[in-house]
Amino acid sequence: LQRHLNRLDRLNLIGEMAAGIAHEIRNPMTTIQGFLQIWRKSETPMSKEHIDLMLSELLRANTIITEYLSLAGNKTSHFDVLAVQELVDSLSPLLQAVAVMAEKQVEVRHDADDVWLRADANEMRQVILNLAKNGLEAMEPGGRLTIRTHADNGAAVIDVIDEGPGIPDEVLERLGTPFFTTKDHGTGLGLALCYSIMERHQGSIGVTSGPLGTMFSVRLPIVPRPVTAPASDEKQGGNDE
Ligand code: ADP
Ligand code: MG
């Protein structure tokens, strides 16, 4: 099943997300309030378990606010001409660390050499990181996440491929809708953030999913290689991993 996602309509709702965020923040606050009220009435000290629960609720509220701010904040992007391989490689150590903690593996592969694009490096890292995190979270321990860069029809493509169970149709339809999550501790803001960044970059995100896994494909227009750039064979790493 293949779908090409265009979420402009949903991203235009970002203003209306203020109502959504109020609701999302109220849940953790209500939980904490409830615990504190019970604690105040009772003479018994609060258990570590309850404190941990309150802390994790605070953490969740904090994450929601942070992600919302990076989503709704109309900060101006800073565009540079970047090599797609270097962009992905710069994330590799972080991804490897996340994967090891989650008992999974990450493999980075560059099929086409020397593909350049115009992008805000930090924003693009956020996109790749969010897609990779979703892929890692979808897999059982031992699963392998592959990040592949290549050129296709004038586009620089970054594929993020997991070996998870795939995305059911009813979930696929709602991807990118702010606060839509199927996870117990998800925020449902990761993909919304990816779509909004890709919109600013005049790029797109496609998704192909089946029972053997999911592939998110980020596409951005290729730009000519800058004349000042070092020759590709001077760069370390070359064409293989
Ligand atoms: P979150 O990760 O906080 O749930 P996202 O916006 O990143 O929010 O993702 C929204 C939902 O999309 C997830 O809860 C999950 O159901 C689904 N999803 C995204 N990526 C994948 C994937 N690679 N495999 C399976 N499901 C996915
Ligand atoms: Mg996510």
Q: Is 206 in the pocket of ligand 1 (CB under 6 A)?
A: no
The answer to whether the CB of 16 falls within 8 A of the CB of 38 is no
Atom index in ligand 1 nearest the CA of residue 214 equals: 23
The answer to whether the CB of 50 falls within 8 A of the CB of 35 is yes
Q: CB-based contacts of 86: which residues, under 8 Å, 6+ apart?
A: 235
Per-residue b or e along 40-75, where b marks 16 or more CB atoms closer than 10 Å to that residue's CB:
eeeeeeeeeeeeeebeebeebbeebeebbeebbeee
- Pick out the chain residues at pLDDT < 50: 1-5, 234-241
The 10s digit of each residue's pLDDT in 197-231 is: 898 899 999 999 999 999 999 999 999 998 876 66
Please tell me whether the interface predicted TM-score (ipTM) of this complex is above 0.85: yes
Q: In angstroms, rounded to a whole number, what is the distance separating the alpha carbons of residues 78 and 224?
A: 18
pTM of this prediction?
0.77
Provide the sign of the torsion angle of the four alpha carbons 152, 223, 133, 74, taken in this order.
Answer: negative
Distance 183 CA to ligand 2 centre (A): 9
Distance 134 CA to ligand 2 centre (A): 5
Q: Is 175 in the pocket of ligand 1 (CB under 6 A)?
A: yes
The predicted pLDDT at position 18 comes to 65
Q: Is 147 in the pocket of ligand 1 (CB under 6 A)?
A: no
Q: Is 187 in the pocket of ligand 1 (CB under 6 A)?
A: yes
Residue type, 130: N
Q: Is 167 in the pocket of ligand 1 (CB under 6 A)?
A: yes
Atom index in ligand 1 nearest the CA of residue 192 equals: 6
Q: Is 28 in the pocket of ligand 1 (CB under 6 A)?
A: no
**30-37 CB contacts, 8 Å cutoff, 24+ apart:** 31/57, 32/57, 32/58
The answer to whether the CB of 176 falls within 8 A of the CB of 192 is yes
Please provide the distance, in angstroms rounded to a whole number, between the alpha carbons at the two ends of the chain: 29
- Residue of the CA atom closest to atom 19 of ligand 1: 134
Query: 114 — alpha (psi -120 to 50), left (phi > 0) or beta?
Result: left
